[in-house]
Each structure stands twice: as C-alpha cells, then as structure tokens.
Amino acid sequence: MTYKIYSKASRTLVPLFFILVLVIQISCTDDESFTKSPTAILSFPCDTLKLDTAISGIATSTYSFVIRNHNNQGIKIVKASLDNGEASGFQVAVDGVNINDSYNHAIEVRKKRQYHGLCQIKDQREQ
C-alpha cells in the first residue's frame, strides 16, 4: 500500500511559500548605512527664505524649502535646532516633524532622497 504524503495542491504551495519567504527577506533588508561625518553635505536649493510682513494676530504664510542628499550614503543629523531656540520666533518642521528645543531625535536623510521643510513665523501672543 502506498500513501501519498503530499497532495497536488501542496506540491504547488510549498515552492510558492519558499519564494514568498525569499522575496520578503530580500525586500526587508536595510542595506543603507548612515554617516555622521561633518564632511557629508546636504544641499538646499535656496539659502534664504524671504518672508512677508508679519502682523500681530494674523496668521502668516507657511514657506517651504527642500533638503537634498546627493550622497551615496545616508546622513544622520544628530541635532537639529534653531538659533535662539523657542525664542527665535519661528516654527520649523522637517519631513512632518516639528523641530523645537525639546526635539532630541536624530534625523535620517536617506541617500539620493529629498525632504521638505516648512517654516512659519510664530504668533508672539502664543509664547
């Protein structure tokens, strides 16, 4: 008497399962390395943001800027802050994260990518 160990369906599913596992492993590998070197340079298309006149009590426009990493390696920014901190009168967000005095997480700018930043004048009455 001969017993079938695998059915026809299982002979098809087993190779598919191994292919799926292989694809998941390859796609989940983090092959990007980051540097903290001060010689790694980010580029900014503009070096100055020109803001409109700010009138107390009226919301100001939000101005955007772009941060580009043209390097073949990611850059890890250990500390991002504003001169004069919270007293600077500006709100800045990079890639959706508000940068303020209490922000103490590293920003990872991946290789060959660009990130968007936003800047707005703070209402002095909120301080």
Lowest mean pLDDT among 68-77, 91-100, 112-121: 91-100
What's the rounded mean pLDDT across residues 2-31? Answer: 66
Q: What pLDDT digit, counting tens, does each position of 35-65 carry?
A: 877 788 889 888 787 777 777 777 778 888 8
> Mean pLDDT, the chain, as a whole number?
77
Residue 127 has pLDDT above 60, yes or no: no
**Distance separating alpha carbons of residues 99 and 81, to the nearest angstrom:** 6
114 in Cβ contact with 67 (< 8 Å): yes
Q: Which amino acid is at 93?
A: A
Q: Which amino acid is at 46?
A: C
